[in-house]
Amino acid sequence: MKNYQLAWRNLWRNKRRTLITAASVFFAVFFALIMRSFQLGVYAKMYRDVIESYSGYLQLQHTDYLDESSLDNGFVLEQSLTEVIEADPNVTGVIPKLESFALAAAGSRTQGVMVIGMDPDNEQKTLNIKNRLIKYRLTPEATEALKGERMTDRTARLLDVFSGEAWTDEKSFITDLGIRDDDSAAVMPLFREYASLDNRYLTSADSGRAVIGYGLSRYLSADIGDTLVVMGQGYHGVSAAGLFVIKGIVSMPNPEIDNAFVYITLADARYLYAAPGMVTSAIISIEETGDKDLLQTQQRLSAACNDRLVVRNWKEMNALLLNQMEADNKSGAIMIGILYLVIAFGVFGTVLMMMAERRREFGMLVSIGMQKRKLAGIVGMEMLFIGLLGVMAGIAASLPIVFYGYARPLRFTGEMAKMYEEYGFEPVMPMLLPDTYYLWQAVVVLLILLVAISFSVRRIFKLNIINALRA
């Protein structure tokens, strides 16, 4: 009989203990995987949102622009450089961008804003701002008007909860308001009448038009068709002022951006800030966005720039967000660490019991001529089997949940959703598909087993046959 066969049979001599120990490993692996999958999935979504709606993956900037984001650190984007960048195999486009701070007023209300000038047709190839145009919103007036209509109690209550919110797609609007499939035919026409809005996006031909963030529109109580007065400081301190008619309202993922977002065409921005031909940065869209490709492309492009310009990646530009997520990530890792620590004690306890219980047996085996080395191998293998059983069961049980959570992200409804939105997060918790984090769970369990195995192996080698047989 082979060693592994012996080990496998030994496991089932005490079926209960094997199963309970394997179950404890399963428990830890399962929860750790589900937790990680949620956590990492949420980070991935946040990063994607910020990249797709604001920073892009790579940006060409003046070397000082990251630290001093002022117009004075702008530059003229030479056609020759654009051509060099576009020639890179991984680059799909270059989007010149001119942005600066200004004061926006509508009526008697004012607010500091970030005016962003880009060419809309060009921008849409890379960024995803157009998809953030809001389709539904619940103004206080709409909420009042809708209350008189017939709808389920739950929807009527949720109307109050979500008063003032906006949605970019119909599906999440329906989920948030708890509208059931069979009611939607009756209720949706009402919502279309009161809560939908005629929202258009900027085109390159537009002049004197702006798309603004929903937070900003609420703050200024400015709606589509209203005029926005923008005042600020242009290039080299000249004063800048302009009028823009609001053409569309978008909901940006980050409240800080949403409350200060004014998007106009590049030509308008250059005119407003008296900075003809200038940009403050250029978003470089790329094909392959994985870390390795990203860094390689960044290096290649940086080499092509003169020493005043530099190519930054999204991680450098969003250092704060990354830092926050990393702090959160660490707290999650600590939680899982504690869980595994507790499980490690449990496994260790099992090993201890098993060793004590089988002392006599071991003594017997050694006395009839079994090599201690072989015995240790068998015992080690037994433990390995228990651990692997737990890990594999944990992985197997988590997979359907993770795939389901990826395909149909968990979306909070009602008050819970509102809370997330107030914090500036979308109330969606997508899961991340199996990745290296799956591997890590197995590694951790193996480490725990290693400790347990080395303990039992030492015990076996120190075994005194006479004493053991007497036990």
Name the site residues for another protein (rule: CB under 8 A).
16-17, 20-21, 23-24, 27-28, 31, 67-68, 70, 101, 103, 105, 107-113, 218-221, 231-233, 237, 260, 319-327, 330-331, 334-335, 338-339, 341-343, 345-346, 348-350, 352-353, 356-357, 419, 422-423
Instruction: Please name the residues in contact with 95: beta carbons below 8 A apart, sequence gap of 6 or more.
Output: 56, 118, 119, 122, 123, 125, 126, 127, 282, 283, 284, 285
How far apart are CB 275 and another protein at their closest, in Å?
Answer: 16
Would you say 289 or 413 has its CB closer to another protein? 413
Of 44 and 105, nearer to another protein (C-beta) is 105
What single-letter DSSP state applies at residue 212? E
CB closer to another protein, 186 vs 353 = 353
The answer for residues whose C-beta is within 8 angstroms of residue 180's C-beta and 6 or more apart is 152
Nearest approach, Cβ of residue 166 and another protein (Å): 15
Question: Closest approach of Cβ 187 to another protein, in Å?
Answer: 28
Q: Which is nearer to another protein, 70 or 128 (CB)?
A: 70
Beta-carbon contacts of 110 under 8 Å, excluding residues fewer than 6 positions away, are 103, 104, 220
Which tokens in the block code for residue 83?
């051509």
* CB of 77 or CB of 138, closer to another protein: 138
Among candidate residues 424, 415, 403, the one with its CA nearest the CA of residue 46: 424
Ordered DSSP codes for 273-307:
TT-TTEESEEEEEES--SHHHHHHHHHHHHHHS-T
Toward another protein, which CB reaches closer, 114 or 376? 114
Among left, alpha and beta (phi > 0; psi -120 to 50; other), residue 412 is beta
Question: Which has the closest alpha carbon to 441: 400, 405, 397, 404?
Answer: 397
Minimal distance, residue 198 CB to another protein, in Å: 24
**Closest distance of CB 409 from another protein, Å:** 19
Least spacing, CB of residue 131 vs another protein, in Å: 26
User: What is the torsional sign of CA 121, 123, 128, 130?
Assistant: negative
Please check whether residue 194 is in contact with residue 149, taking contact to mean a CB–CB distance below 8 angstroms: no
